[in-house]
Structure 1
Amino acid sequence: MSNAAHDALIHLMIVAASSDSAMTERELVRIQALIGRLPVFEGFDKTRLAVVANACADKLNGPGGLDQVIDDAIAVLPVKLQDTAYAVAVEVASVDLHLEQEELRFLELLRDKLTLDRLTTAAIETAARARHRRMPN
């Protein structure tokens, strides 16, 4: 897979983590874990992570802002990776089991721009909640 596609997935994870104005340590650890564990990131040079994160921040602060980051990411991703893109964004956003309004807005915006059906996105969201659930007290 190309650097552009890797970068696009990472940009979406970073935006998911920072959409509520604060990227937590748990979210950063989850991003690093996903990059280290998921087959889609095979071949990604992990030493580039800081450069990719900074490029994402520059784009977010640029003229197109959030919409530009999402549009650019989707433009370079193969269609068959759109569900993966949504899944990694949901995974990072749901790591703390509480989605802020800004995180929900980002996921809704991303969902609307992807060519995924509602059943697929609902399944991804449900699976993420199940993976992050803790034992009741």
Structure 2
Amino acid sequence: MNLIKTVFITFFILLCISCSSGDGSKSDRLRADSLTNEVVNGKMDIAVLAKSDEFMYFNEKYFHEPADLKLIPAFDKAQIQVVTYRIYQHVSLEGNRYRFNVKKASELHIPNKAFVYYQRSFDEMNRKAAASKDSIRLELPHNYASMLINE
């Protein structure tokens, strides 16, 4: 009976770890918030944070509503800019299709939810371009990722 309990408890712990991993632990998010505050308060350049290996996330409400970077709070804006910079550093435009050259969120130190959100957005834009027989011309300005953090 002890073996069954041990296996069950081990399985439960591993399940909990796997469900929360990839979206940042509470301490990862607290550190991300602290670093974002440093950017907002002018103590750190946003480019330094964007290019770092520090975990970064942004409020999930921005997945569901349009975000005008000119109107949202500076804290949220900085987080969105860092995550989006990391994404667009690995996007190219090939044959009127966006190519996302990263396979896992952990490579970018961002949450799985953000990674999947952007990945689905690229897939949807590619699908629309293909369905229009390429009458929709996709665009990706040169140095777009850098433009995002300088906005």
TM-score of the aligned structures, taking structure 2 as reference length: 0.31
Of the two structures, which has the highest relative contact order with CA contacts closer than 8 Å and spacing of 6 or more? 1
Rg: which structure is higher? 2
Comparing both structures, which one devotes a greater share of its residues to strand? 2
